[in-house]
Amino acid sequence: MALWFLLLGVLGLFTYFTVKRSAAGVTRTPVWLLWLVMMAPALIWTAWLVVNGEDAQMPLLLLLGPFLISPVLYWSLVQWGRISPSPDKAEPNATENGNSDAAQSNPLQPKAVIKPINREEEATLQTCFPWSIYYLQNVEYRPQALICRGQLRSSPDLAYKTVRENIETQFGDRFLVIFQEGLNGKPFFALIPNVQTKASAVRSKARTRPMLALVLLLLTLVTTTFGGLLLAGVTPGDPPLEGTEMLAMGLPYGLALMAILGCHELAHYLAARRYKIQVTLPYFIPIPPTPIFPFGTFGAFIQMRSPVPNRKALFDVGIAGPLAGLIVTLPFLFWGLAQSQVVERAEASTILNFDSFDPQASLLLTLFSWLALGAQLTAENAIDLHPVAIAGCIGLIITALNLMPVGQLDGGHIVHAMFGQRMGANIGQVARLLILLLSFVQTEYLLWAILLLFIPAVDEPALNDVTELDNRRDFLGLLTLALLVFIILPTPPQILRLLF
CA proximity to 404, closest of 456, 347, 471:
456
Give the CA dihedral 115, 117, 118, 124, nearest 10 degrees. -140
pLDDT in tens, 50-84: 777 766 666 767 766 776 787 778 777 877 876 64
Q: Does domain 119-200 have CATH number 3.30.310?
A: no
Burial class of residue 457 (count of CB atoms within 10 Å of its CB; 0-12, 13-18, 19+): buried
Q: Are 148 and 129 in contact (CB under 8 A)?
A: yes
Length of the chain: 500
Q: Count CB atoms within 10 A of the CB of residue 278.
A: 17
Going by DSSP bridges, is the β-strand pair 341-344/297-301 parallel, antiparallel, or unpaired?
unpaired
Q: Count CB atoms within 10 A of the CB of residue 270.
A: 14
Q: Are 137 and 151 in contact (CB under 8 A)?
A: yes
pLDDT in tens, 306-358: 899 999 999 999 999 999 999 999 999 999 999 999 998 888 788 888 888 98
CB contact set of 314 (below 8 Å; sequence gap of 6+): 308, 413, 416, 417, 462
- For CA atoms 227, 230, 234, 239, give the dihedral sign: positive
Distance CA 232, CA 57 (A): 33
Strand ranges in 360-456 using DSSP code E only, listed in sequence order: 381-384
Say how many CA atoms lie within 13 Å of 225 toward its Cβ.
14
CB contact set of 146 (below 8 Å; sequence gap of 6+): 116, 117, 125, 139, 140, 175, 190, 191
Task: Please give the helix or strand (H or E) that residue 433 lies within, else none.
Answer: helix 421-438
Alpha helices in 154-296 (DSSP H): 156-171, 198-206, 210-231, 243-274
CA–CA distances in Å: residue 100 to residues 82, 141, 144, 305, 443: 21, 16, 19, 38, 58
Residue 133, Cα to own-chain centre: how many angstroms? Answer: 36
Q: Are 217 and 207 in contact (CB under 8 A)?
A: no
CA 457, 47, 35 angle in degrees (round to 5)? 40
Going by DSSP bridges, is the β-strand pair 175-181/146-152 parallel, antiparallel, or unpaired?
unpaired
Domain ranges of the chain: 2-80, 119-200, 210-499
Distance CA 189, CA 179 (A): 5
**pLDDT at residue number 70:** 76
Q: Are 430 and 419 in contact (CB under 8 A)?
A: no
Tens-digit pLDDT string for the chain (500 aa) = 555 555 566 666 666 766 666 666 667 888 778 878 877 877 887 777 777 776 666 676 776 677 678 777 877 787 787 664 444 443 333 333 333 333 333 434 444 445 667 788 888 898 999 999 999 999 888 877 889 999 999 999 999 999 999 999 999 888 999 999 987 889 999 998 876 544 455 455 545 688 989 999 999 999 999 898 888 877 655 555 555 776 778 899 999 999 999 999 999 999 999 999 999 999 999 988 887 778 889 888 888 888 999 999 999 999 999 999 999 999 999 999 999 999 988 887 888 888 889 898 899 999 999 999 988 888 888 999 999 999 999 999 999 999 999 988 999 999 999 999 889 989 998 998 888 888 877 777 877 887 787 787 788 889 999 999 999 999 999 999 999 999 998 888 888 888 88
Distance CA 53, CA 258 (A): 36
Distance CA 35, CA 31 (A): 6
- pTM recorded for the entire structure: 0.77
**pLDDT at residue number 471:** 93
Transcribe 436-458 into DSSP letters: HHHTTT-GGGHHHHHHHHTS-SS
Say how many CA atoms lie within 13 Å of 338 toward its Cβ.
8
